[in-house]
Amino acid sequence: MKNIAIIGAGTMGNGIAHTFAQTGFKVNLIDISDAALERGMSTITKNLDRMVAKEKITTADKDATLANITTITSIEEGVENADLVVEAATENVDLKLKIFKDLDTTCPEKTILATNTSSISITQIAAVTNRPERVIGMHFMNPVPIMKLVEIIRGYNTTDDVTNQIMEMSKKLGKIPVEVNDYPGFVANRILMPMINESIETLYNGVAGVSEIDTVMKLGMAHPMGPLQLADFIGLDVCLSILEVMYNGFKNPKYAPCPLLVNMVRAGKLGVKSGEGFYNYAESRKAEKVSAQFSS
């Protein structure tokens, strides 16, 4: 597989595109918005510049990586020669199902369709296509160029051959793939999101303040970032969406989102992306400081 198409130029999409391109793959980065594509390429360039400054790559490596990426606003044009498509759109079931229906009709029969979903059933997504055996989950971690883990999730019909190909490709990217089964939240978020949700409950119940909760987890549990700060970094809307998928999937009240989280999302306080969450990021340099702390 040489030609990769990435659907979505947001945080995860541009990070995935960066990673594939830096490894030598030809990448079509696809988004319906020219502005989103410009922001995505700007982020990739800044991250490459940071790697050059730290002497992790050379200027020639940076230039080669950027040359491997083509930005496109048409899905049909962007996937016509793709060996692999990785969907990295918003964590919304209806949106992902629509994208996969479209991909199934526009991609060559050989194309493997992967989703970067962090919680939604791969089997459900695969069921809207005529190639469920060639649909798989590739859940990258944020920030993608830095984090080593990729959760590989096979749907009910995903073949061994497709799974093995994606496992090997992930290794070529310098990642460590871990195969997990198709249940809501998979492994990473099934464990992480209840911890974040319980941290929000702890704040909601007045047990301690934001900085105190994060300090306990950083100093007491050796976490590089407190759970509330991490929730801000992930996006509170994303956390809520994942918890709702798990709650609806398991019908277990332990996954029910905390009312405080629900209200914050309704109020538009989504974390770093909106400028305010559990912390205030009104000044852009504060937001950049949080991102740099997590990716350093």
Q: Give the closest residue to 210 by CA, choosing from 220, 200, 221, 196.
A: 200
| 12 belongs to an annotated ligand binding site | yes
Q: Give the closest residue to 116 by CA, choosing from 4, 232, 41.
A: 4
Please pick, among 14, 28, 151, 199, the residue that the annotation labels catalytic. 151
Q: How far apart are CA 288 and CA 116, in angstroms?
A: 24
Residue 285 Cα distances to 50, 54, 88, 281, angstroms? 16, 20, 27, 8
Helix, strand, coil shares of the chain, percent, nearest 5, are 55, 15, 30
139 is catalytic: yes
| 11 belongs to an annotated ligand binding site | yes
| 142 belongs to an annotated ligand binding site | yes
| φ, ψ (nearest 5 deg) of residue 17 | -60, -45
Please pick, among 14, 28, 118, 121, the residue that the annotation labels catalytic. 118
| 119 belongs to an annotated ligand binding site | no
Tokens at residue 6, please?
């990435």
| 5 belongs to an annotated ligand binding site | no
Q: Give the closest residue to 166 by CA, choosing from 125, 135, 123, 203.
A: 135
Please pick, among 139, 170, 241, 276, the residue that the annotation labels catalytic. 139
| 8 belongs to an annotated ligand binding site | yes
18 is catalytic: no
| 235 belongs to an annotated ligand binding site | no
Please pick, among 28, 68, 170, 189, the residue that the annotation labels catalytic. 189
Q: How far apart are CA 138 and CA 57, in angstroms?
A: 25
77 is catalytic: no
| 91 belongs to an annotated ligand binding site | yes
Residue positions forming the annotated binding site for NAD(+): 8-13, 31, 91, 96, 118, 142, 273
List the catalytic residues: 118, 139, 151, 189
Residue positions forming the annotated binding site: 8-13, 31, 91, 96, 118, 142, 273
